[in-house]
Amino acid sequence: MAISLFYLILFILSIIAECILLQKIANRRASYYVALFTLISVVCLAYFAYSISLDTGMALVANQFSYLDGTFVMMFFIFCILDICNIKVTKWFAFPMTGIGLFFLGLAFTAGYNTLFYKEVKHSTYAGSAHLQMEFGPFYTPYVIYVVIMMLIPIGLVIYSSFNKRKISYKYTLALGGLLVAIVAMYFVESSVGLGFDILPSGYVLMEYVILAVIHRLGLYDISQMAVNVSENSKDYGCVVFDTQKCYVGANKTALFYFPELNELDIDREVSNLWIKEEFVNWIDEFDDGKNVSKRYDRNGRSLRCTIKPYVFGKNVAKSYGYIVEIWDDTEQQKLISRLNEMNDELAQALDSANSANSAKSQFLANMSHEIRTPINAVLGMNEIAIRECKDDSLIPYMEDIREAGHNLLTIINDILDFSKIEAGKIDIIEDNYELGKLITDVVNLVDVKVKDKGLELIVKADESLPSVLYGDANRLRQVMVNLLNNAVKYTHEGSVELNISANYIDEEQIGLNIVIRDTGVGIKKDDLDKLFESFSRVDEKNNKNIEGTGLGLSIVNGLIELMHGNIKVESEYGKGSTFSVCIPQRVIDKNALGELRRWHKVKKEVIQHIDATGVNILIVDDTRLNLTVAKGLLKPTKANVTVCASGAECLELLKKQSFDLIFMDHMMPDMDGIETLHNARELPGISLDNTIFIALTANAITGIRDMYLREGFDDYLSKPINPKEMEDIIQTYCLGE
């Protein structure tokens, strides 16, 4: 008895294990089928054992096992049909069913011990097969009623499904229902007609094959299954399934929510709703034609992205069982994207207005500095004339102060102009061959006086093996070096300023020109190093407040170096000095060594030896009266015959009456500018200008401008503010001979 109890407990434990397994495994539906098929096999085996049983005991045991059919085979069959009908098997249904099944199975298995199920059994044979004759106990009839109910449930389900063809593939439920009717019929035929043997097992096996047939056509079943799974797994993800014939197979809840038109469709039938036909079925046609595009729909206030893909089953990717339209709710992303786009637009607008504000600022600075240049030109020119003509020596120092202040102002104006051009991206790097030695000497000459004036030592070291001729923008390079050297001088009170030129790298074609400017000055605090190249920013203002500056120099230097593809580094020790290291790539033209630098010298007071241009007829054309006065005054010592006029038109009139040896022509004039005037002059009928030299006068002092004027027909150009020496040199060259 104890051993039997032990086995019984084992049995119960194993049933519990199976229940747990059914709860746990992911594809619970598949497990219904596995359980059903396993039970049918056991039942068939039981019928077999029953048929070959030799005595009552053996037959009874086999008979007891065969009761698995009325209990659990039917139960799992119902589960399967529920599943096919898309009805969830809840535990409220599954647990009582299992309980009742176990109860009747328990009765059957204790048949030899009590008379509840069988009152009496007797072993016999019928048609060569073992057979039990039995007298039924009081619980047998309830069992029969239970079995009948178990059979009626699927029939009810089939009827239900026939009314719900929008939800259920009723073809299959009908097939299973038919089978069920056949089994019920078998049951009753067998028990009423008394065939003498059970034909029910054949019904069960038939059941297996009908289910297999359904499963075989089941691409369909699986896809709809998948749709259901998906609906359980995700709310955002909808899917609509069509079979290979583009018949509707099913859709999950999410899809039905967004596309209620789907509710009108019959499962396994052609799509009847026009909208779905046009939107989805035609789309599938296009998909078949190789177009794979996603679609967007706005439904129920959500933004949906729909994609289409073939439904492949398991590993066999070659075979498609149909199509799945997937529906993704990406409203939040769309909102983010459109917000992002809005923000981009706003940013672009902000950038636009910042840019236009910036270019307005740059334009303003450029205009302003140009406007200031003109009067400064007059001030410096007039001052120059005053110095020359002044008879009272005591006034000269004042005038020299005006000259110095004027030049300082000019430097600031030039800086502003450069800065605004760099900001506006309007600065061009104009490259040409240049002699490195001359460049260095020029630079040194420019700063030498200042260094000496401050009582500092100027140390110049240039690697003698450097190539003598390079290709690059010598003017901009000079500007960078002078700027850094001027700063070094400005911010050093004692000690030295050093300029060191060497090669960072050099090969056949290129050199990385290293320019190091070192000073023993006030130095820069570590925290300030980052701010150094910001425009308009001056650092350590408290200590440097007596030193003039705009805070533009280094940002211009930085901008120019960037344009020349170089880099600049600063090292500094506060209170001890700073080192600015610049490296700029330049092309090597002549590899011959630079050699020793020529001595540089600066004559403190240039004594101009004026030329004698007696008899030379000069015309000056400029729309600014002051400029005319300056130019005329500057030419006074040359004794040339100077005529002035204030416009292109006047110039043309003069040319008709008189011939000139040399004409200084302002470029920027209202109405007819200098270039137009020149072109028109050359067209004047009957007037030969073969012996007239045209010199462009321009405030446009950038390198390369000379070529432009030569192309336009000028013989040369002179930049403003006019350098008297250069002006006289031009007259000397073109009118008096070298």
Name the residues that contact ligand ADP, by CB under 6 A. 487-488, 491, 519, 521-524, 532, 538-540, 544, 549-555, 578
List Cα–Cα distances, 476 to 267, 447, 479, 541, in angstroms: 81, 16, 5, 28
Q: Which of 554, 422, 588, 392 is nearest to 483 (CA)?
A: 554
Token pair in block for residue 160: 């239900």
Q: Give min distance, CB of 473 to ligand ADP, in A.
A: 20
Phi-psi region at 710: left, alpha or beta (left = phi > 0; alpha = psi -120 to 50): alpha
List, edge to edge, every strand of the sheet that includes 295-299. Answer: 248-251, 237-243, 316-329, 302-313, 295-299
Task: Give φ, ψ of 246 to 5 degrees.
Answer: 65, 25
Distance of CA 510 to the CA centre of its chain: 36
Q: Give min distance, CB of 507 to ligand ADP, in A.
A: 32
Tally the C-alpha atoms within 13 A of residue 122's C-alpha that lie toward its C-beta.
Answer: 5
Task: Give φ, ψ of 236 to 5 degrees.
Answer: -85, -20
Q: Give min distance, CB of 553 to ligand ADP, in A.
A: 3
Asked if residue 81 lies in contact with residue 158, where contact means CB atoms within 8 angstroms, the answer is yes
Q: Give min distance, CB of 495 to ligand ADP, in A.
A: 12
Q: Which is nearer to ligand ADP, 314 or 455 (CB)?
A: 455
Please report where in the chains the tokens 């098997």 appear, as a residue: 89
Q: Which is nearer to ligand ADP, 485 or 631 (CB)?
A: 485
Q: Give min distance, CB of 415 to ligand ADP, in A.
A: 8
* Pairing assessment for the beta strands 617-621 and 662-666 based on DSSP bridges: parallel
Q: Which is nearer to ligand ADP, 31 or 572 (CB)?
A: 572
Which uninterrupted H or E stretch holds 402? helix 396-423
Q: What is the largest CA-CA distance in the chain?
A: 160
Q: Which is nearer to ligand ADP, 35 or 413 (CB)?
A: 413
Q: Give min distance, CB of 369 to ligand ADP, in A.
A: 15
Q: Give min distance, CB of 666 to ligand ADP, in A.
A: 32
Q: Give min distance, CB of 525 to ligand ADP, in A.
A: 9
Please report where in the chains the tokens 């006034």 appear, as a residue: 395
Q: Which is nearer to ligand ADP, 544 or 617 (CB)?
A: 544
Q: Which is nearer to ligand ADP, 245 or 543 (CB)?
A: 543
Token pair in block for residue 455: 């009582």
Q: Give min distance, CB of 457 to ligand ADP, in A.
A: 15
Q: Which is nearer to ligand ADP, 532 or 618 (CB)?
A: 532
Residues comprising the chain, all counted = 738
Q: Which is nearer to ligand ADP, 71 or 486 (CB)?
A: 486
Q: Which is nearer to ligand ADP, 540 or 712 (CB)?
A: 540
List Cα–Cα distances, 538 to 522, 642, 697, in angstroms: 14, 47, 36
Measured distance CA(323)–CA(272) in Å, rounded: 17
